[in-house]
Amino acid sequence: MKHFRITLQYDGSRYDGWQKQGNTENTIQGRIEALLAKLFEQQIEIQGSGRTDAGVHALGQVASFSVQTDIGPAKVMERMNTFLPKDIIVTDCRLTDARFHARLNAKRKTYIYRVVTGNVRPVFGRQYVLWHSDTLDTDKMRKAAECLVGEHDFKSFLGNRHYKKSTIRTIENITITEEIIKAGEAEFPEIKLAFTGNGFLPNMVRILTGTLLEIGEGVRNPEDMESILTGCDRALAGSTAPAHGLTLLKVEY
């Protein structure tokens, strides 16, 4: 038995999220497991570092699986990339030991949410950014984000009301940066929100982003964030930002 760790990139636009589900075969995990079953002629279960939502992308998703085989990681990667859909690719494959688990051993994850502002809607790359026609006050957004850093109960930013596990997480860092993206003669102001933490609740990054966007719009004040956080009530937080602007950047072990 060999134990593999793979790193994946995928465009989540046409998938129903990472986690396989009984009501659809159109998930990242489901597609990969179906391919592995054909390649190795045995049932294989893969463990992802996290369950990205439908429409969310990944540049550095990590997964692990075990299989009875004689071939090595380079050949496994080659075979997988030959038959995977064009919007999923394995960028790294290596041997690991039986104790490694992509989700349980993860120390921290970083997600990026991209927002393009201004009255001109981007055409190229539009499936990876949220277009926001109004300008945003990023200084207010940064001020609001400060109180989110550290260990807190993030129940107000939980998207699954049936969630039964602990809602305490640690956010190590939130950065909000601005740059100008050029596409031909056009220029697009882009804001990137980067969240690094030891783990994230279902929809947590998207709800954090939606709340920060409302603060940037002036709908809420930066000072509101503390009461939203301590209130532990989803109704207090802002809207859930659309999935297509979010990308899992990397997972660290």
Catalytic residue numbers, as ranges: 53
**Contact by Cβ (8 Å): 246, 206:** yes
Work out the end-to-end distance of the chain between its first and last CA atoms, rounded to an integer number of angstroms.
23
Distance CA 157, CA 168 (A): 11
Burial tier of 232 (Cβ tally within 10 Å: 0-12, 13-18, 19+): middle
**Angle made by CA atoms 148, 149, 154, in degrees to the nearest 5:** 45
β-pair type (2-10, 88-96): antiparallel
